[in-house]
Structure 1
């Protein structure tokens, strides 16, 4: 395999950094500090990595000016304000690009579909009536694009993805394998002991620069659309129910679940396995820590947590007993008596003040 190589100066120009040392040296990839060799570029993001940086065999390091002063074993640098951001940008330089265009012979595409000449449609993909696929979009093998779906420019749709419910995707959307967008929402009306299915008549609207991981489900709306705004990133195994709105640049880690008709603000962060009940509103700039259960609306930005932190088994069992005791009747009665005594004390204090 022929690796693409870049000079240190070229790489620095990609991130608007300053090349220091052997600016014409050739580098062929990125690596961690511990695994990098003389042909690789690594990054140093904090003081705690300085020991590793001084022992690293990397050909060059991405650093800040301040960190560079503490690295004595290395002479070749790219100096930037934010090494981690520079690293993120350079991953795209070395990423293997999908350059194929055209339609594979085994793909099935309805005559009414509009497919850009620069798009790629993989083997055994199925594209229905009146679909639109934009410029430079890649649709991998075995995808099912149902009738009326619209996909923007420079999107990447991985294998076995299903897009249905007349959903619409913006530009530069990435959807990974086995995800379903626009599936039927979980809507049923209970009557006389039976569940009566509600046909889901809405759709899903996805903005620009959205990333959706593998095995996710985003359900179409019952009446109004489910909306995923620009810049949202979803990890694997995320469930977004019908009529949910997720604000721009919000991030959700794996196994998050959001129940129907909830609105989530912009720039929120949900750690792994967060659960959110339906029909509530969450403000912008809210962080919810891992495995929390959000049961009511959040109106102010900040960090929120729920659940029981990990303890040693014996300590947890003791704590569980105490939790149960909090709800026992005798304790409840004691709290009521304390409240009554507090009220009596306040009444006496008021009487004394009046006599004075």
Structure 2
């Protein structure tokens, strides 16, 4: 990591309401892991499994809980949640360069579009009719903004982002490279043995402070909008189908697929490769573990799983045979139970 201006333990403690144990004048110029950090780096301890590394770390400052500071002879910043404190501190060493205001000469902006003078529009970008790029927004190189789109104040499209049509991004939204928002949803009707495309007439609404990962796709609604509420975090390679509604502060990991018209509540977490069937409702504060298939609505907060962990192939084949036999086994047991009555 590139070195930055030094920050002392005292300065960090004052800024983030932490407590210093040890020398408050120790200064760091970056962050690193417990094992890789040198005397000029800050590290953190959050997961108990890494506690043994604390005795051997050369980090100048370690962010940890008070219980973990006992016996530690180095300089520590005591935090209620070390990972949260680390995230805030690390951001100081990773400042984002401001893009220059203005429209690059190679960009193509429709005559009816509006670009705020403080916004930045990068090279080889196109902006369609009636679209609005708000104050302080950044549209990176190679982006395509279709018709009737709004990029909110301070929003950032990193590069090669496509807002196809009727996409409205809130304030400070970040969209990473390759994401496509507002493409047609998968609406089909069968007529005389051939598929007929159903027009997708809605849009996409993304709330303030949300983050959309690389190569993630969010389809426009069929009639009403597909809605992503505020502070939602979507990882890379996620498919959000038409008319899905995702509640505020929900986080969804990579390769999740969400079928159409499903509603996901607030403060939910979906782990990698979860599949969610269409027209379901998942209530607030639900955690769905990796590889789970959600085929029915979830009405109670809690943790849900259905994936089968990997096992040796020979064992899996035996178990697969037994799974196929479960129905006949259940019938025999039921018949025997009736006979004993």
Aligned to 1:351: none
Compute the TM-score of the two structures, normalised by the length of structure 2.
Answer: 0.94
2:86 counterpart of 1:93? no
Post-superposition Cα deviations, 1:180-238, rounded to whole Å, max 9, x if no partner, equal: 00110000111111110111000011111111111111000000110111111111110
* 1:313 matched to 2:323: no
> Residue 26 of structure 2 contacts residue 61 of structure 2 at CA under 8 Å; is this kept in 1?
no
User: Secondary structure at 2:316's aligned position in 1?
Assistant: helix
So what's the TM-score if we normalise by structure 1?
Answer: 0.90
Q: Pick one of 314, 338, 341 that aligns with 2:339.
A: 341
* Residue deviations 1:120-151 (CA, integer Å, cap 9, x gap): 21111111122222222221100001111111
- Partner SS, residue 147 of structure 2: coil
Distance 1:55 1:336, change over 3 A: closer
- Separation in structure 2 between the aligned mates of residue 136 and residue 70 of structure 1, nearest angstrom: 48
Seen in structure 2, the aligned counterparts of structure 1 residues 215 and 70 have a Cα distance that, compared at 3 Å, is same
Aligned counterparts of 2:93 and 2:49: Cα–Cα separation in 1: 27
Report the Cα offset of residue 336 of structure 1. 4.5
Q: Is the partner of 2:165 in helix, strand or coil?
A: coil
Shift of 1:47: 4.3
Contact 2:247–2:266 under 8 Å retained in 1: yes
Q: How many angstroms does 1:154 deviate by?
A: 1.7
Distance 1:284 1:224 in 2: 22
Contact 1:261 1:280 in 2 (8 A): yes
- Name whichever of 264-273 and 178-187 sits farther off: 264-273
- The range that moved more, 2-11 or 212-221, is 2-11
Determine if contact 1:50/1:71 at 8 Å carries over to the other structure. Answer: no
- Give the Cα separation in 2 of the matches to 1:90 and 1:124: 35
Using the alignment, how far apart are the partners of 1:36 and 1:296 within structure 2?
A: 47
Distance 1:38 1:131 in 2: 50
2: CA distance between counterparts of 1:325 and 1:126? 59
Alpha-carbon contact 2:3-2:30 (below 8 Å) kept: no
Compared CA separation, residues 124 and 335, structure 1 to 2 (3 A): same
| Counterpart mapping for 1:280-299 below 5 A | 280-299=280-299
For 1:22 and 1:302, locate their aligned partners in 2 and report how far apart those are by CA, in whole Å.
43
* CA gap 1:333/1:90 in 2 versus in 1, 3 angstroms: closer
Q: Name the CA distance, whole Å, in 2 between partners of 1:217 and 1:42.
A: 35
1:2, distance to aligned residue in structure 2 (A): 6.4
Cα distance in 2 between the residues matched to 1:288 and 1:48: 23
How far the C-alpha of 1:322 sits from its partner, in A, is: 0.7
Structure 1 equivalent of residue 63 of structure 2: 62
Taking the TM superposition and a 5 Å limit, the aligned residue runs for 1:126-145 are 126-145=126-145
Q: Which residue of 2 aligns with 1:120?
A: 120
The alignment partner of 1:92 has SS state of helix
State the match for 2:193 in structure 1: 193
The equivalent residue for 1:253 is 253
User: How far apart in 2 are the matches of 1:309 and 1:24?
Assistant: 49
| Unaligned segments of structure 2, at least 5 residues | none
User: What is the alpha-carbon distance in structure 1 between the residues aligned to residue 86 and residue 199 of structure 2?
Assistant: 47
Aligned to 1:352: none
**Following TM superposition, by how much is the alpha carbon of 1:28 offset from its aligned partner in structure 2, in angstroms?**
0.9
Match of 2:72 in 1: 71
Number of aligned residue pairs: give it: 339
CA distance in 1, matches of 2:233, 2:249: 7
Distance 2:333 2:65 in 1: 58
Aligned mates of 1:214, 1:186 — CA distance in 2: 21
Match in the other structure for 2:15: 14
Residue in 2 aligned with 1:49?
Answer: 50
User: 1:300-349 deviations in whole A, cap 9, x for unaligned?
Assistant: 11111113222211111110111111234xx465245235336xx2xxxx
SS of structure 2 residue aligned to 1:67: helix
Cα distance in 1 for partners of 2:324, 2:99 equals 62
User: In structure 2, what is the Cα distance between the partners aligned to 1:332 and 1:19?
Assistant: 63
**Separation in 2, partners of 1:58, 1:106:** 47
